[in-house]
Amino acid sequence: MILRFAILTVSDRSSRGERVDASGPVLVGIIKAQGWDVVRQGVLPDDLPMLRETLSAWADRGDVDVILTTGGTGFSPRDVTPEATRGILEREAPGLAEAMRAASLSKSPHAMLSRAVTGIRGKVLIINLPGSPKAVVENLQVVLPALEHAVKLLCEAPDAEAGHNVQTS
């Protein structure tokens, strides 16, 4: 299954051209290395209404399976990506965010400061990732193995639940 991704970098400085977006291209590289497609990319400032509007529009278009955001998940007063995401979700998927924080905590005590949110809008999975390229790689690697299965479940693929009810002795 070829998954279709949208990648949104959330950064005031990158949106103003004051800093090159380093995390977005890293995500593109990882996604393409998996054999998946990047359908859309963007860079926006830490602006709650703009983020909500963009996330909901991207999710509602029907041409992506997963939206990855990078940036805006920390404690800074301008970090509003989790609030924007939560505001447009229909259902949260906390296990993904919990898994990312747990794995990151073994590398840095600052991981517990992540406010990343993950969830579902329609048939689209939305995942908030940190803003640093290193943390983006570490966090995405944690959830990569579950993405294809998650999308199959969201799309109600006939083989999505194969193996769910297998009895073990």
What is the count of structural domains for the chain? 1
Residue 94 is part of a domain; what is its CATH number? 3.40.980.10
The residue with tokens 């993904």 is: 96
The model's pTM is 0.94
Q: Give pLDDT, residue 161.
A: 80
Position 116 in a domain: yes
Position 80 in a domain: yes
What is the domain range of residue 146? 4-154
pLDDT digits (tens, 9 = 90+) for 81-100: 999 999 999 999 999 999 99
Low-confidence ranges of the chain (pLDDT < 70): 163-169
CA atoms in the 13 A half-sphere facing the CB of 63: 10
Position 82 in a domain: yes
Position 27 in a domain: yes
Radius of gyration of the chain (CA): 16
Q: Give pLDDT, residue 121.
A: 98
* Coarse DSSP helix, strand, coil percentages of the chain, rounded to the nearest 5 percent: 45, 20, 35
